[in-house]
Amino acid sequence: MKLREIAERLGAELHGNGDVDVTGVAGIEEAGPDKITFVANPKYAGLAKTTKAAAVLVHPGFSVLENTATLRIANPYLAFARTIEMFYQPPVYKAGIHPTSVISDSAQIGERAHIGAYVVIGDGVVIGRDAVILPHVVIYDGVKIGDRFFAHAHVVVREFCELGNDVVLQNGAVIGADGFGFAKGDGRWNKIVQAGRTILQNEIEVQANACVDRASVGDTVVKTGAKIDNLVQVGHGSTVGERTLLCAQVGLAGSTVIGNDVILAGQVGVAGHLTVGDGSIATAQTGIPNDVAPGAVVSGYPAVENKQWLRQVAIVNKLPEIVREMRKNNRPS
């Protein structure tokens, strides 16, 4: 489509030739003369001057580019995501039920559902309208799911779990598996029945091979708008707040409360029975053994305020030099 049309659809301010034909999107270093790219991180600003892209999505105050058109908009990264949607053609899943699927007579499936090969849906399941359930998905008895559910291949939703509207489960996600509960007695570990549920509210995405465990009693709850990355573990009885991001390999021990708008970066570990406050951020590989205040940015193990952690790391990196100086100064004359 013409660059001018893209600018209009995004609501961006166009600087440059709007008649250029655009065929897709690309990274700033790979983009050719028929592709759109973006700059959201200042450290890539220099590459905008050398890119061969047809246009660059930038902030309104970005410097003028002599050889490349710009589309100026307040959130270039979000605009880039929307531009991808303009060009990407996802598979079309027509309504229908594959003959190899096994669906209980007592299950209620909403209008226009696509149910793929070898799907198993148990007794008393209720699924809303416009569901797409791809091959080998298993939905246990008593599950309740809202509209526009999308389950990729090999998803499992365990018994009595509840999922809201617009929930997306990527390949291999497991919702409502037993929490890790055992009590020691008679010289062995005795399993504690995990009698609770897992509840996913609306507009939630759980990505590949992530696990959200069911509670022993009560519920494990993931609130509206939260996003859970690959290989994340949400322990039994935990609560994940609205719009919170749990990035790759995050682990929450049982009964953890994560607030709204929290970001836990990759490989963050959170001990159980504590609270991480609204709007806080834990940088990659942080270990959290205590409560985190709302709005805090923490790093390291045990987690401390990020600026303090940076000072600690700087000191640790200087330790060899400090030790050499100490030994030098302590040598006998």
pLDDT single digits (tens) 224-233: 999 999 999 9
Is pLDDT of 331 > 80? no
Classified by CATH at the fold level, domain 96-306 comes out as UDP N-Acetylglucosamine Acyltransferase; domain 1 (2.160.10)
Mean pLDDT of 148-163: 98
Of 15, 136, 154, 236, catalytic:
236
Which CATH superfamily includes the segment(s) 3-87?
MurE/MurF, N-terminal domain (3.40.1390.10)
**Alpha-carbon gap, residue 251 to 210, rounded angstroms:** 10
What is the average pLDDT score of the chain?
95
pLDDT digits (tens, 9 = 90+) for 226-254: 999 999 999 999 999 999 999 999 999 99
Please tell me whether the overall predicted TM-score, pTM, comes out greater than 0.75 for this model: yes
Residue 236: active-site member: yes
Helix H or strand E encompassing 315: helix 306-329
Is pLDDT of 38 > 70? yes
155-190 b/e (C-beta count within 10 Å ≥ 16 → b): bbbbbbbbbbbbbbbbbbbbbbbbbebeeeeeeeee
Query: Confidence class of residue 262 from pLDDT cuts 50, 70 and 90?
Result: very high
Sheet holding 13-15, edge to edge: 13-15, 69-72, 55-58, 35-38, 24-25
Is pLDDT of 114 > 90? yes
Count of beta carbons in the 10 Å neighbourhood of residue 1 = 11
**Alpha-carbon gap, residue 91 to 310, rounded angstroms:** 46
- Residue labelled with tokens 């209980």: 104
Q: Comparing 320 with 161, which gets the higher pLDDT? A: 161
Q: For the chain, what are the domain ranges?
A: 3-87, 96-306
Mean pLDDT of 88-106: 96
